[in-house]
Every structure is written in structure tokens, then in C-alpha cells.
Amino acid sequence: MKAAPPLRVLVTGASGLLGSGVARRLVESGADVVTLQRRPSGVAGARDVLGTVTDAAAVERAMSGRDTVVHVAAKVSVSGPAQEFEQVNIGGTATVLESARRAGAERFVHISSPSVAHAGTSIVGEGAGPADPDRARGHYARTKAAGELLALAADGADLRVLALRPHLMWGPGDTQLTERIIDRARAGRMPLLGPAAALIDTLYSDNAVDAVVAAVAAVDRVHGEALVVTNGEPRPVGELIRGLATAGGAPEPRLRIPGGLARRAGAVIERIWEAADLGRDGDEPPLTRFLAEQLSTAHWFDQRRTRAKLDWVPAVSIDRGLELLAAHYRRR
């Protein structure tokens, strides 16, 4: 029997840890991979197109001949002008979707975030829940919610769309969460809020890559919905923060702030930061209301539907991931 032709995949945002990992794994599987991002992806065997998802011409060049899209690119930060998040997370998603339709792409895996359905209260063993831009907290979550809704609205017989929501990804090379915790702990500025006992689930970076690749394989039969992806190992937030800090060679965080006080202080700091334009050089405030809520409320998810739909289970446990992270920092 004749072998199926290789997938022709576009991966956006492949200069980041998740996007580059997905592009690399797809190349290894035999796929024909094009990447779109501002700087070279460093993925051997992939063809880079340099540009942004807000540039329709660059998206068209990258999309040419593609039958599958993995849309990872996003504006990710806890602060910054709303317009910047809207341009990338909503406008950029719309541009990539429209280009995919014109190119005749058949599959679209949209990388979203559990924050799109988080209104600041605890999430305990729930499923994905609907994205809600009106209730999501902060510019990032609101615009990612709107972008996910755009993507899922495009699902149909011709273009099958599946949204994945990786939850708090960490691991070697991660600058969004891992290095921030380690750097702040090293500087004595990583607070534990309240008793730091709220259960949260996270996702080791290799598992995140595996899940996205599994989604590419599954999207023909599983589409039109969102799935949260985690390790499925809820731990107290304080335990996880201490584990990441010490794996990176930093001392255990000792600073403790009551959760209610942190949320109020975060809201004030956020307003001052934006009013004074203190983030114009990319600096982020030491605390925001969103961060305080994330560090003081439970948020873990039932993973049974995700694992069944994707035919996937995490290969690396949290404990093993912390060992690998510590080995990574020892080598550095």
C-alpha cells in the first residue's frame, strides 16, 4: 500500500521553547516544516520565514503549500498596552486563520491558555470550560480568550480546528516561568502568598511538546473544542515554587505575603505601572492582581478527556522533570 505523503506543517512562534520543540519533533517524524517567527528558529531541517503573525504578507509566504498549522505565536506578558496584545493574540490569529483558509489548509492546532476561562476563583478538577473574554483577567488572558473563540469559530469540514491550553509549562530553557521564578528567588523577591497550599497543576516542557504533536495527529477526528493539557499531578503552589527555585540553584523563597493583601497590592502596582509607562522597555511589574490570583488560588484540571481524545499521557513526571531541570542548571 502506498505510504501517506508527509504533513506539510507551518509552526508559528518557533523561536520559543514550545514552538521550536514542536517544529523539531515534527521534522524528526518526517513532516515538511516551515516556521514563522521574528528570528531564526534554530530547528535543523525546518525552513524559516522571518516575520510576524501581524504581517499578512509574511504569513502568506509561510503558509504557501501548507496543509497543517500549529499556531503558537502570541504576545505573552503580565503587563503592557492592551493594543499590543490585541494586535498579536486577536489580529494575528485572525490573519493566520484567513491565510490558512485561502491556502486550503485542512488542520489547525491553536495554542491557547487555561487563563481564558479563569475568572480569579479556584478551579478544582474541572474540564476546559468556555473561553470568556469578558471575565478573563488581564490583557493577555482576555485577548487569548478572544483569539481562541475566533479559532474555534473557524472549525468545519474543510478546516478542522483544535485548541490546546497548556497549563503553566516549565522546564530547561523556559524563560516565561522557570527562569523568572529562579531569578526572583535568587534576588529574594519571590513571594509565597498565604500558606502557599493551594493545589495547582503544571506541565513539563517535553510533555507539552508531545501533547501538541499528538494533537496534530488527532485533529482530523477531534476538533471544534478546547482541551487543557497538564501533567495531571496537582501540588501545593509553595512546593512547586520551592522545587523550581532550588533546581535552578536559588535559595528557597522565604518571603510570605497574605493572599488578600497581595491581590490588592498587585492591582495598585499594575495601575501605577501602566499609568507611568514603566513597562516601555519590556520591564514587568513585581506583582499584578493576575499573578497574585494565580499564586493564591487552586487551579487544577481533570485530564481524563484530554488523554482519551489525544491518545496521550505525560512521559515525564514532575519529580523527574525537577531532576532534569537541576541537571540542566548544573551543566550551565
How does pLDDT run across 8-40, given as a tens digit for each residue? Answer: 999 999 999 999 999 999 999 999 999 999 999
Report pLDDT for 51: 96
* 3 state DSSP class of 300: strand
Q: Could you confirm whether 329 is annotated as catalytic?
A: no
**Contact between residue 26 and residue 7 where contact means Cβ atoms under 8 Å apart:** yes
Q: Residue 217: what pLDDT? A: 97
What stretches in the chain show pLDDT beneath 50? none
Angle between helices 93-103 and 56-63 (to 10 degrees): 40
Give the pLDDT confidence score for residue 195 in this predicted structure. Answer: 67
What's residue 266's pLDDT? 60
8 Å CB contact between 208 and 274:
no
Domain ranges, ordered by start, for the chain? 8-168+203-231+301-316
Q: What is the C-alpha to C-alpha distance for residues 40 and 20, in angstroms, rounded to an integer?
A: 10
Which cell goes with 13? Answer: 512562534
Query: Which whole-number Å values give the CA distances from 102 to 35, 65, 97, in the listed order?
Result: 18, 11, 9
pTM of the model: 0.91
Q: What is the pLDDT of residue 143?
A: 96
Q: How far is CA 38 from CA 74, 96, 99, 203, 264, in A?
A: 12, 15, 18, 26, 37
For the chain, the average pLDDT equals: 89
Q: What is the CATH number of domain 8-168+203-231+301-316?
A: 3.40.50.720
Q: What is the pLDDT of residue 278?
A: 59
Query: Which residue, chain included where needed, has cell 550551565?
Result: 332
Active-site annotation holder among 140, 300, 301, 312: 140
The pLDDT assigned to 274 comes to 67
